[in-house]
Structure 1
Amino acid sequence: MDAVDASPAQAVTSFARLAPRLHLVHAEVTEHLTSQPASYDVLYSVVGAVDFTDPHRMLPAAATALRPGGRLVFSALAHYVGGAPAELHALPADLPVTDPDGCPAAVLRRWVLHQQVWKRLPALAGLTAISAAVLPALKTGTRTANTLFLQAFRPA
């Protein structure tokens, strides 16, 4: 199994406990996937690379890296944290991130897209049998969001 992250510190923090079963790849995800044609049976992203990378680059790269019959599974925000609706077009949002004390820490580019947009984009990348489900937030409050869970397949 591979875990791909452009940040070596993030990769170690997130995945080191899974080594040696997990191979940590320090790379930009679309470059890595494009360089690995038909290498993966399954690609998955849990609120990760798929919703933090331009889907016009990410999804074709994923389609390239999947073996015929391979599956892409990913989750993304179903709407913005706080309740604003997801975008009806494949446009990114620059969202502020705060540290544990609530102070501004960074700005992250993220694609918070409507379910129908997320279903259309994998098809444009050549993936098929695309399905989606909305999973309700486990908590209520102003800092929560429902999760959109999707899967798509590379044709066999």
Structure 2
Amino acid sequence: MSIAEITVAWERYARDRTPRRDRNAAGAASWFNWTSHPDHGPDEAVLGDLRGRSVLELGSGTGCNLAHLATLGARCVGLDVAPSQTAKAIARWGHLPGLEFTTGEAVDTLATTPDLFDVVYSVFGAVWFTDPDVLLPLMRHALAPGGVIAFSHTAPADAASPSPDACVRRYDLDGRQWVDLLVRHGFARAEWDVIEGPGGRGPRTLLVRAFA
């Protein structure tokens, strides 16, 4: 599948997405969410202390999660294949210091960038939709010593909804499969957890972390 076809698929998906509300249940203007349930589950603490660290998000969408990390003192770059998502992110969050949004495909960008990052993460983003045997080695190569990657997607048993486009493949792997792949591709160690939906209802979220 060409990058142009991938871009068209994700633009079609973005067209039907509603913007995240301006305030969460606690009244905060920025916040981090790994799951598809508003105001539920772990926050940015999963990534460790972020002040002064360089962060790359793969599939940054409208930039809400990444903007929150920038408010905590991280130096952030958001990458999304859909130009309209990048435009929305810049319009909403472009005023924040230490925050950059760019359009590009994850594999091509990681294969050509000379930059190293302390944190690379993806929330229901590129890791779920890209061949892990191609993407994971590139993510590992982009990590600074001591760096961490983290990503989340719907737990495979609960992932009944289709991909955003029939020609976009989704990699519905379980935690053990991800850990095996991550170790095989050069990460020192990896771990995973399943986050239950609020009150034990709704789709669960698989959250995976790996360390350089």
**TM exceeds 0.5?**
yes
Which amino acid is 1:124 matched to? Answer: R
Give 1:9's aligned amino acid. Answer: S
User: Please, what TM-score do these two structures have when normalized by structure 1?
Assistant: 0.74
CA 1:41 to 1:82, structure 2 compared with 1: closer, same or farther past 3 Å?
Answer: closer
Amino acid at match of 1:7: A
Segments of 5+ residues of structure 2 without an aligned counterpart are 1-75
The structure carrying a bigger helix percent of its residues is 2
8 Å CA contact 1:3–1:15 kept in 2: the answer is: no
| TM alignment of 1:21-60, pairs within 5 A | 21=97, 22-37=99-114, 39-60=116-137
- In 2: Cα distance, 1:15 partner to 1:124 partner: 37
In structure 2, the CA distance between the partners of 1:40 and 1:145, relative to structure 1 (3 Å rule), is same
1:67–1:78: structure 2 CA closer, same or farther, 3 Å change rule? same
Instruction: Using the TM superposition, give the Cα deviation of residue 95 of structure 1 relative to its aligned residue in structure 2, in angstroms.
Output: 2.7
Per-residue deviation, residues 75-116 of structure 1 (Å, max 9, x unmatched): 122124466xxxxxxxxxx9354xxxxxxxx32421111111
Aligned 8 A contact 1:52 1:109 in 2: yes
CA distance in 1, matches of 2:193, 2:107: 25
Distance 1:139 1:56, change over 3 A: farther
1:63 aligns with 2:121: no
TM-score by length of 2: 0.56
Q: Structure 1 residues 150, 30: CA separation in 2 closer, same or farther (over 3 Å shift)?
A: same
What percentage of residue pairs aligned between the two structures are identical?
31
**Conserved in 2, the CA contact under 8 Å of 1:37 and 1:64?**
no
5+ residue gaps in structure 1?
84-93, 98-105
> Which structure has the highest strand share of the two?
1
CA RMSD of aligned residues (A): 2.3
Q: How many residues are paired up?
A: 134
For residues 80 and 171 of structure 2, the distance between their equivalents in structure 1, rounded to whole angstroms, comes to 18
Report what 2:171 is aligned to.
Answer: 111
Three-state SS of the structure 2 residue aligned to 1:95 is: coil
Deviations 1:108-128 (A, max 9, x none): 421111111111111121012
Aligned residues of 1:79 and 1:145 also touching (Cα < 8 A): no
Structure 1 CA distance, aligned partners of 2:116 and 2:87?
A: 23
3-state SS in 2 of match to 1:109: coil
Paired residue secondary structure (2:203):
coil
Larger mean CA deviation between 36-45 and 62-71 belongs to 36-45
1:12 aligns with 2:87: yes
Corresponding residue for residue 136 of structure 1: 196
